[in-house]
Amino acid sequence: MNKLPAVLMMLCASVLPGAALAEVVTVYTSARVAPLVVSDDQGIYPDLIRYLNRHAPGGLSFRLEYLPRKRLQLKVENGELNGIVIGMMPRWFDDAAQKKYLWTTPFALDRYVVVLPAGQAYSQAKPGALAGRSVGMVLGYSYPDLESWVRRQGLIRNDAPSDDKSLEKLQLGRVDSVAAAESVVRYYMKVHGIREDKLQLYGLPSSPTERRFLVPHSKAAVYEKIAPVIRKLKDDPEWQRLVSRYE
């Protein structure tokens, strides 16, 4: 008889709404560069996943998973992705009209810059100023907005596994310049104590980088829950405090 209360409690718990297991949504990223991903549990993306787990409507649980860019793009385009993607732009997936996939509003804005050693002459108004020199970029990444700039300048692309590695090569004199997102460059300078007068940053002729969530239409129910949360980020002091740590 003494086992009956315990059995009844287990049965009751199994039918309570709060006891239902949350659906685990995998959030894919191809980023392995700070401040987007500093470590497995630090960076803008891990912080945003935790934020979603606190603020998204019930029934969902989010976890971040890395997938190399080419594999990620293939899975998205072939309709094989069982999850959503963080930090993407419609143009990168040939979806400027935002019809192929569902897109949240941007949760971060960035821009591409070229990074040069102090004293290196450069002018956007003089194509070819860097002719024959190398520019560090990320292996496997395409840069549609920058391709014409690279050609006009006569630069030679030199790939590395990440922007951090390209910036290390610049410091060691193994590349002449680096093209990367400004947030990545400034965070790298902050962490490594590089003074502003040691490197030159020039904005490149490209559209701003809008970091959004890409959601396949098969995950429309997930989109309906996270889109309002992402839309309100810019007005949430909690999120602003979190992201300010990486600036």
pLDDT of residue 126: 80
Rounded to 5 degrees, what are φ and ψ at 150?
A: -60, -45
What pLDDT does 128 receive? 82
Model confidence over 107-159: pLDDT tens digits?
999 999 999 999 888 887 787 889 999 999 998 888 888 999 999 999 999 99
Q: Which amino acid is at 192?
A: H
Q: Please give the model's pTM, rounded to 2 decimal places.
A: 0.83
Helix (DSSP H) and strand (DSSP E) numbers for the chain? 8, 11
- What local confidence, expressed as pLDDT, does residue 72 receive? 95
* pLDDT score at 2: 52
Could you tell me which residue, 4 or 84, shows the higher pLDDT?
84
| Whether residue 13 has pLDDT greater than 50 | no
H helical segments located in 192-236: 220-231
**pLDDT, tens digit, for every residue of 58-73?**
889 999 999 998 899 9
φ, ψ of residue 26 in degrees (nearest 5): -80, 125
pLDDT of 187 > 90? The answer is yes
- pLDDT tens digits for range 200-224: 999 998 889 999 999 999 999 999 9
- The more confident residue out of 180 and 128 is 180
198 pLDDT band, cuts 50/70/90, is very high
pLDDT band at 1; cut points 50, 70, 90:
very low
In sequence order, what are the beta bridge partners of 197?
none
**pLDDT greater at residue 71 or residue 10:** 71
Q: Among candidates 168, 140, 135, which has minimal Cα distance to 34?
A: 168
Mean pLDDT in residue range 16-28: 74
Q: How many Cα atoms are found within 13 Å in the side-chain-facing hemisphere of 149?
A: 18
Between CA 180 and CA 11 the distance in angstroms is 56
pLDDT tier at 16 (50, 70, 90 boundaries)? Answer: very low
